């Protein structure tokens, strides 16, 4: 049986919820984790409010193999993620000598002021996630990985995290073009196929381009034979409908 390794993503920050900042991390992380065999099962967005962050962390870290977070580890007063992690795990937090040393690689003693030193505050027992771009580290505590919200920094941190992760069977994806057929025409048959292949996920995704509507059916699963059989059933269904010249 294929091993399932699951994950959740917690996006932290008022700026996401107000729309001031447009999140660019969810899609990247989802695709990245899928590619290495980790199933992203849930994404939440919470404000910069301690009780909201702590509650979400404790709920998600117990439900999934891993929890990834982005945002709230900078130098300003509203960057409270590290403190919230310490509270969620019931541990202390202080300036970590390893994190201080990393910051000193970038900042002179005069530049390393009290605000920047906030980025060296790490919960007790956490391991550091290196940040080759701005040096301020993320950290791992338990099964929780705490990363920056800036996309380029987050991506660099994720690259450093990936080799340490347990991974499962990778998702196999087949995409089938439903050319010339609207969803309402093939929906009933697609539902029957989905019921027959319950171990795979079958979804229909319409889109619109300058050439008109386009419908794609995507079959996802971890067993190659089952995915191939389900995809073949979908193709046969579409061929049969086109042969009948079903009206759009």
Angstrom distance (rounded) from CA 209 to CA 104:
51
Count Cβ atoms within 10 A of the Cβ of residue 137 and give its class: 0-12 exposed, 13-18 middle, 19 or more buried. Answer: buried
Which candidate, 134, 206, 148, places its Cα nearest to that of 177? 206
At 223-245, the pLDDT tens digits run: 899 999 999 999 999 998 887 65
Give residue 171's pLDDT: 83
For a pLDDT cut of 90, what percent of the chain falls above it?
79
At 140-154, the pLDDT tens digits run: 999 999 999 999 999
At 60-111, the pLDDT tens digits run: 999 999 999 999 999 999 999 999 999 999 999 999 999 999 999 999 999 9
Sheet holding 201-209, edge to edge: 172-177, 212-221, 201-209
Both structure tokens of 57: 């962390």
Average pLDDT of span 152-173:
92
Does residue 246 have a pLDDT over 50?
Answer: no
Average pLDDT of span 120-147:
96
């Amino acid at each position: 049986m294929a091993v399932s390794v699951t994950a959740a993503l917690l996006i932290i920050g008022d700026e996401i919820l107000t729309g001031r900042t447009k999140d660019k991390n969810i899609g990247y992380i989802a695709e990245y984790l899928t590619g290495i065999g980790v199933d992203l099962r849930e994404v939440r967005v919470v404000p910069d409010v301690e009780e909201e962050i702590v509650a979400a962390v404790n709920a998600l870290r117990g439900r999934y193999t891993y929890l990834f977070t982005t945002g709230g580890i900078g130098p300003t007063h509203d960057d409270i993620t590290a403190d919230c992690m310490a509270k969620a795990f019931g541990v202390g937090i202080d300036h970590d000598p390893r994190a201080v040393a990393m910051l000193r690689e970038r900042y002179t003693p005069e530049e390393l002021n009290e605000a920047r030193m906030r980025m060296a505050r790490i919960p007790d027992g956490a391991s550091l996630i290196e940040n080759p771009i701005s040096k301020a580290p993320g950290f791992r505590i338990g099964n929780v990985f705490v990363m920056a919200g800036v996309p380029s920094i987050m991506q660099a941190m994720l690259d450093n995290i990936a080799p340490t992760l347990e991974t499962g069977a990778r998702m196999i994806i087949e995409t089938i073009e439903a050319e010339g057929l609207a969803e309402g025409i093939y929906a009933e048959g697609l539902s029957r196929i989905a019921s027959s292949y319950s171990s795979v996920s079958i979804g229909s995704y319409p889109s619109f381009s300058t050439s008109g509507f386009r419908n794609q059916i995507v079959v996802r699963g971890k067993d190659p034979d089952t995915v191939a059989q389900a995809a073949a059933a979908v193709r046969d269904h579409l061929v049969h409908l086109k042969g009948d010249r079903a009206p759009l």
